[in-house]
């Protein structure tokens, strides 16, 4: 082919290629993929507790630089108080609100909940058992308030939004995000009264981390939660009373008896070691069982498990004969304060001890 026609042919190909690229860019500009929509549901806590008044949900959103790079943020004010001031009724209302938000808006990718850190792990675990979706719900807070030097609330909020917007976060249950780390609501606990690295998962480790380049996960959650939970807050008017009693040297059983007489439906014993009680606590436990009150045994150690017991058939009987109600339940590896939450929900659904023990094995 002569040089001039060849050059002309190459020019035509180049022109076509440039035109195709320009057309592609024009189409991408005309219909960009929208960022994930994430809603902030604020309940208060140190993260909003500045001197002179608490930050609102809208003000919290505005305090986070660069948020619009990762999500389309929305906000609403559910409450604005300390986490320890939230009531059990507000827990129920919060779970119902989150469920309705997901049901009403299919375009909603995730929800971030702010909470005070003192009882954050309890609120997060309650939501883990009662929110009925596989979309991410992320609970965040801060150890320093907005008026203190080193306030980390904005960073935790940004990371919470990034985790909620990330498709990898689906199906992992409710997540707790602080200090660049992602923990499962079931396992995380507050381990220090003041330090920023207070939220940890003893024994099992973090689910993942939030770094500058991406959200990185390293393990998954195997226990039942959220979408696969059998607990329906739409059918629960009020949670039954369940109390936690600590084992210590020379502990008395009259405290347990008093709790029973005050109307508790269940008691969680935070035992020493792998199930040891002390003093006259055994008498109190027997009294509770005689009164039909469920007693869950957990450990105060911070890790480890109390194994579920099997009930052998009594000598001289067969398996078809009725047995007395099963009222002693093992908490497995659930911390006592979280065992209380599971027992409240379990008692809202059944009074069958075998079913309740199953729940402690599965959740």
- 46 catalytic? Reply is yes
Q: Please report, for residues 14, 130, 186, 323, the alpha-carbon distance to residue 342 in angstroms, rounded to integers and kept in the order given.
A: 67, 10, 10, 25
Catalytic residue among 43, 46, 247, 299: 46
Structure tokens at 359: 């729940």
User: How big, in percent rounded to 5, are the helix, strand and coil portions of the chain?
Assistant: 35, 20, 40
DSSP 216-251: EE-----S--GGG----GGG-SSPPPEEEEE--TT-
Q: Please report, for residues 11, 22, 26, the alpha-carbon distance to residue 17 in angstroms, rounded to integers and kept in the order given.
A: 10, 9, 14
Edge-to-edge order in the sheet of strand 108-114: 72-81, 37-44, 108-114, 137-140, 174-178, 181-184, 208-210, 215-217
237 CB-side CA count, 13 A: 0
* Other residues' Cβ atoms within 10 Å of the Cβ of residue 103: 11
Q: Please report, for residues 123, 166, 304, the alpha-carbon distance to residue 138 in angstroms, rounded to integers and kept in the order given.
A: 11, 11, 26
The span from the CA of 360 to the CA of 356, in Å, is 6
Residue of 122, 146, 123, 145 lying closest to 41 (CA atoms): 123
The span from the CA of 270 to the CA of 295, in Å, is 11
Q: How many residues does the chain have?
A: 363
The span from the CA of 276 to the CA of 243, in Å, is 18
Which residues are identified as catalytic? Answer: 46
């Amino acid at each position: 082919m002569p040089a001039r026609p060849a050059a002309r042919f190459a020019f035509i190909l180049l022109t076509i290629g440039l035109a195709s690229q320009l057309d592609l860019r024009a189409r991408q500009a005309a219909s960009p993929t929208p960022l994930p929509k994430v809603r902030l549901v604020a309940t208060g806590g140190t993260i909003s507790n500045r001197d002179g008044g608490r930050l609102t949900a809208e003000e919290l959103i505005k305090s986070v630089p660069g948020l619009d790079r990762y999500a389309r943020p929305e906000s609403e004010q559910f409450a604005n108080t300390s986490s320890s001031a939230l009531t059990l009724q507000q827990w129920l209302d919060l779970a119902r609100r989150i469920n309705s938000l997901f049901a009403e808006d299919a375009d909603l990718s995730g929800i971030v909940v702010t909470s005070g850190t003192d009882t954050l792990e309890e609120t997060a675990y309650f939501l883990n058992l009662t929110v009925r979706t596989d979309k991410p719900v992320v609970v965040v807070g801060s150890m320093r308030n907005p008026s203190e030097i080193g306030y980390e609330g904005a960073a935790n909020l940004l990371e919470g939004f990034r985790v909620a917007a990330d498709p990898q976060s689906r199906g992992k249950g409710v997540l707790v995000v602080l200090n660049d780390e992602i923990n499962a609501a079931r396992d995380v606990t507050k381990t220090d009264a003041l330090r920023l690295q207070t939220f940890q998962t003893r024994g099992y480790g973090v689910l993942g981390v939030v770094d500058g380049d991406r959200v990185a996960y390293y393990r998954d959650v195997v226990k039942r939660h959220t979408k696969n939970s059998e607990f329906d807050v739409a059918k629960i008017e009020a949670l039954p009373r369940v109390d936690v009693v600590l084992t210590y040297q020379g502990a008395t059983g009259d405290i347990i008896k008093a709790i029973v007489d005050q109307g508790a439906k269940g008691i969680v014993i935070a035992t020493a070691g792998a199930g040891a009680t002390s003093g006259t606590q055994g008498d109190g436990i027997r009294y509770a069982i005689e009164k039909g009150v469920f007693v869950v045994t957990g450990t105060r150690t911070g890790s480890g498990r109390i194994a579920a017991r099997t009930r052998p058939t009594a000598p001289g009987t067969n398996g078809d004969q009725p047995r007395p109600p099963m009222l002693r339940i093992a908490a497995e590896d659930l911390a006592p304060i979280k065992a209380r939450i599971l027992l409240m929900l379990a008692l809202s659904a059944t009074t069958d001890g075998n079913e309740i023990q199953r729940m402690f094995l599965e959740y």
